[in-house]
Structure 1
Amino acid sequence: MAKEIRTEITIQAKREKVWAILTDFENYPNWNPFITFIEGKAEEGRQITVRIAPPGGKTMTFKPTIITRTENRELKWLGTVLFKGLFDGEHTFELKDNAYGTVTFIQGEQFRGIFTGLFNPEKTIKGFNEMNNKLKELAEKEEYNR
């Protein structure tokens, strides 16, 4: 069984600037209402620690592994609950260049495993959208520099 969430937003900024914000994990507590903490390096094969706070939901901490890092384009990690196959989530941040100095930020997650049917994605979707809006706000500010 599988479920998928996909959100996107257009940002008036260069892809490199948005990427710099996304990979500046230390700064997440200062701006990100959904992913409130990330510790570790955004490098393929590295395990990171992630804390999420879905709106109206329970804060959760987990330790996914970075499975894809394509500079200025895509960051993807895979997390599991207890062990692989129970409830796994493959989280993706993707940046697509548009015309006229904009970028489309796509945030998605594919959930798989035997407990996926019990998962209601409503709060997670709200959290994705809140994060997307804050990312847009931050990236469109002139003064943001990493």
Structure 2
Amino acid sequence: MKNIRTEILINRDITNVWDVLMNFESYPKWNPFIRSISGEPKLGNRLIVIINPPGGKGMTFKPKILTLEPNKEFRWKGKLGINGIFDGEHYFILEYLDKNKTKFIHGEKFSGILVYFAGKMLDKTEKGFQIMNESIKNECEIK
């Protein structure tokens, strides 16, 4: 198993951060890592997600939404092929710090037999998370 966990402080209220995170239509304008998400954000639904890790190949996958708690957490699980080959549980957690400060936590838990061979790809993924974090911070703070 491999875990990636990143975080950033956003100088906006938690509701604003949640609204930007969940506005999938705006992703192409501000998000260089997750280029697009389509589908209805509803617990149990599948989404179509296109990512573009820095220095890597773009990927499309269809994760299932596991957690959807407004202003708190958005989590999905995707897989490559069948369960146990290469699975990823991607999460966004928002923590209220004060009226205009939100901690944005962004990570993923990877499991499956191919994880041990995916070192460079996972390094690029972590860099992509950091770039997305900076981008959502900028998007939230200019609004």
TM, length-normalised to structure 2: 0.96
Q: Write the mapping of 1:8-87 to structure 2, written as runs, cut at 5 A.
A: 8-87=7-86
Once the two structures are superposed, what CA deviation does each residue of 1:45-92 show, in whole Å capped at 9, x if it has no partner?
000000000000010000000010001100000000011110000000
Corresponding residue of 2:136: 135
CA distance in 2, matches of 1:88, 1:100: 36
Cα offset, 1:100, TM superposition: 5.2
| Secondary structure of 1:98 counterpart | strand
Once the two structures are superposed, what CA deviation does each residue of 1:89-110 show, in whole Å capped at 9, x if it has no partner?
0000000011352000000000
The yes-or-no answer on 1:92 pairing with 2:91 is: yes
Specify every segment of 5 or more residues in structure 2 that has no aligned partner in the other structure, as ranges: none
Over the matched positions of the two proteins, sequence identity in percent amounts to 45
Amino acid at match of 2:114: F
Amino acid at match of 1:64: P
CA distance in 2, matches of 1:90, 1:100: 30
Aligned length: 141
Runs of 4+ that moved beyond 3 A: none
Corresponding residue of 2:106: 107
The answer to whether the 8 A contact 2:13-2:99 is kept is no
Cα offset, 1:41, TM superposition: 1.4
Q: CA RMSD, aligned part only?
A: 0.8
Higher helix share: 2
Specify every segment of 5 or more residues in structure 1 that has no aligned partner in the other structure, as ranges: none
